[in-house]
Amino acid sequence: GAGVSQSPSNKVTEKGKDVELRCDPISGHTALYWYRQSLGQGLEFLIYFQGNSAPDKSGLPSDRFSAERTGGSVSTLTIQRTQQEDSAVYLCASSLFTSGGNEQYFGPGTRLTVT
Amino acid sequence: QKEVEQNSGPLSVPEGAIASLNCTYSDRGSQSFFWYRQYSGKSPELIMFIYSNGDKEDGRFTAQLNKASQYVSLLIRDSQPSDSATYLCAVYYGGSQGNLIFGKGTKLSVKP
**pLDDT tens, position by position, A56-103:** 788 899 999 999 999 989 999 999 999 999 999 999 999 987 666 789
- Chain B residues within an 8 Å CB radius of A42: 88, 102-105
How many contacts does A have with B, using Cβ atoms within 8 A?
59
Given this model, what pLDDT does residue A41 score? 80
Could you give the CA distance from residue A33 to residue A70 in angstroms, rounded to a whole number?
14
- Contacting residues for B79 by C-beta, under 8 A, at least 6 apart: B13, B14, B15, B16, B17, B18, B19, B108, B110
Could you give the CA distance from residue A71 to residue A32 in angstroms, rounded to a whole number?
12
Contact between B44 and A91 (Cβ < 8 Å):
yes
Higher local confidence (pLDDT), A3 or A98: A3
A102 interface with B at CB cutoff 8 Å: yes
Q: Residue A55 — pLDDT band, cuts 50, 70, 90?
A: confident
Whether residue A102 and residue B42 make contact (CB cut-off 8 A), yes or no, is: no
B74-101 per-position pLDDT tens digit = 999 999 999 999 999 999 987 666 788 9
